Amino acid sequence: MKYAVVNEQRQEAEPSLTGNCPSCGQLMVAKCGTVKIWHWAHSGKRMCDHWWENETDWHRDWKGQFPNDWQERIHIANGGEKHIADVKTIKDWVIEFQHSRLHPDERKARNNFYEKLVWVVDGTRRKRDKQKFFDSLSEVTQVNNSESPVRRIFKFLWDDCALFRDWSDCLGPVFFDFGKDDPMLWCLLPRLADGKAYVLEFWRNGFIVFHRNEVKEVDYFADLIKNFINTISEHNAVLKNQSHGQVVLQRQFVRPRRHFRF
């Protein structure tokens, strides 16, 4: 963990410090070696949140894009179950950064636990994933709004892509990160009514800016994702009508059959 409670304040690990876990209150010790990033660990083998995993520099880099008091926030469900979210924004979006393999049952449990969940997945963990991902793209439409954080929307052909097979069951958006030198993230939208999958070419900085926006009255990120679902539905409706020799004179929408949590 990045933070423990020291003298009633959240503090990062430093040599010789001890503190308490912000979730369970148990003793934590600072691990400040030369191999792993400095972090806090429960004294002994205790771990209060079984969803927690060892962090990499990739985790820390992403969490560091958000205010300190948004990082490692405790989320408590109505039934009292609680877990430590990597980042929880002012709009109550939980952002989970996933590097290691995640068991499908645990992924499903997290999807059900957090009502507003966004995944950011390290797409570089397996050597073949990046190439297989881009081999599966088929361009759908260009986004011409210069103010949009999205450049293009692609139809996704998932037959031979492990990333899609791993993450296609999520009810919220999943963002694949193929390296910090790439200015784009790739957002996998929840499956739409037509049974197809779509990904958005999404500016990395745009993702951060939209979530860091602190205007409480408007959830810009939720509105953005809804707009792109509608854009795809409109596009598909136009293609369907054109295939029947019809001209579409008004906006048409295909409502998704699945429940989206935003």
- Supply the pTM of this predicted model: 0.79
Query: What is the arithmetic mean of pLDDT over 162-183?
Result: 91
Residue 98: per-residue pLDDT: 95
- pLDDT at 6 > cutoff 60: yes
Query: What is the arithmetic mean of pLDDT over 27-32?
Result: 84
User: pLDDT per residue over 56-71, tens digit each?
Assistant: 889 999 999 999 999 9
Query: What is the arithmetic mean of pLDDT over 236-251?
Result: 58
Residue 154: per-residue pLDDT: 80
pLDDT level of residue 252 (50, 70, 90 thresholds) = very low
- Cβ burial, residue 255 (10 Å; 0-12/13-18/19+): exposed
Question: In this structure, are strands 174-177 and 150-156 parallel, antiparallel, or unpaired?
Answer: unpaired
Cα torsion at 8, 9, 11, 15 (round to 10°)?
A: -40
Residue 117: per-residue pLDDT: 94
- pLDDT at 133 > cutoff 70: yes
Cα distances from 164 to residues 50, 158, 173, 238, 258, in angstroms, run: 25, 6, 12, 27, 18
User: pLDDT per residue over 144-160, tens digit each?
Assistant: 665 666 677 787 776 68
Lowest mean pLDDT among 12-21, 129-138, 179-188, 190-199: 190-199
72 alpha-carbon distance from chain centroid: 15
Beta-sheet strands, E only, within 65-207? 71-76, 82-88, 94-98, 117-122, 137-142, 150-156, 174-177, 184-188, 197-203
